């Protein structure tokens, strides 16, 4: 009877470690997603952003890939707006040139698609690999436990 209790205790102990590792991995993964998806810019209407530029209330601005404009106002607030057409990017660049924000402005285009296309792919491959490792480790430990007892 004591041998059964000891073997039961040993089995629980062997299975506890992979489960704790899987739980820790899940917590790290969720935390990573939360931190990576963080956007410090508040969503704003394009008309609002344009009016802030025209009123000279913009400290700095960045137009990204003719798809999005990000501004920091003089009072430190940060906004972004999505652009519908490339011509809107040109119009905003002209408005920024006239307004001359204190810290300037920039127009950026992606020179590489690696972070956009392959970043999530690499993370996904890592997640699948870790999950497979846990799924392989648990049955092997269980078999080893059964073989030893």
Which CATH number does the domain housing residue 68 bear? 3.30.720.210
- So what's the pLDDT on residue 117? 55
82 forms beta bridges with 68
97-142 per-position pLDDT tens digit: 999 988 888 888 655 445 555 666 677 787 788 888 878 777 777 7
Domain match, 119 and 72 both:
no
Regarding whether 118 and 85 lie in a shared domain, the answer is: no
Taking only the tens place, the pLDDT of each residue in 18-35 is: 767 777 777 877 776 666
Give the contacts of 107 (CB within 8 A, at least 6 positions apart): 62, 63, 89, 93
Q: How far apart are CA 8 and CA 100, in angstroms?
A: 73
Residue range(s) defining the domain that contains residue 33: 2-37+113-148
Backbone angles phi, psi at 50, to 5 degrees: -60, -40
Mean pLDDT of 6-18: 66
Region of 39 please: left (phi>0), alpha (psi -120 to 50) or beta: beta
* 90 and 124 together in one domain: no
Sign of the alpha-carbon torsion through 132, 135, 139, 145: positive
Coil/strand/helix, residue 61: strand
Burial class for 71, CB neighbours closer than 10 Å (0-12, 13-18, 19+): buried
> Are residues 46 and 103 both part of a single domain?
yes
Per-residue model confidence (pLDDT) at position 52 = 95
120 or 95, greater pLDDT? 95
Contact 105, 62 (CB under 8 A): yes
Q: Quick one: 23 and 77 in the same domain?
A: no
Number of domains in the chain: 2
pLDDT tens-place string over residues 31-62? 766 666 556 889 999 999 999 999 999 999 99
């Amino acid at each position: 009877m004591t041998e059964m209790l000891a073997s039961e205790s040993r089995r629980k102990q062997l299975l506890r470690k992979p489960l704790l590792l899987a739980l820790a991995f899940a917590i790290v993964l969720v935390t990573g997603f939360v931190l990576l998806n963080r956007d410090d810019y508040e969503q704003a209407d394009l008309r609002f952003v344009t009016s802030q530029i025209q009123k000279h209330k913009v400290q700095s601005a960045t137009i990204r890939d003719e798809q999005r404009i990000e501004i920091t106002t003089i009072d430190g607030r940060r906004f972004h707006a999505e652009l519908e057409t490339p011509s809107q990017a040109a119009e905003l660049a002209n408005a920024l040139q006239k307004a001359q924000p204190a810290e300037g402005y920039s127009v950026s285009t992606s020179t590489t698609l690696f972070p956009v296309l392959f970043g999530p792919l690499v993370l996904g491959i890592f997640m699948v690999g870790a999950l497979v490792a846990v799924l392989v480790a648990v049955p092997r430990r269980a078999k080893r436990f059964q073989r030893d007892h």
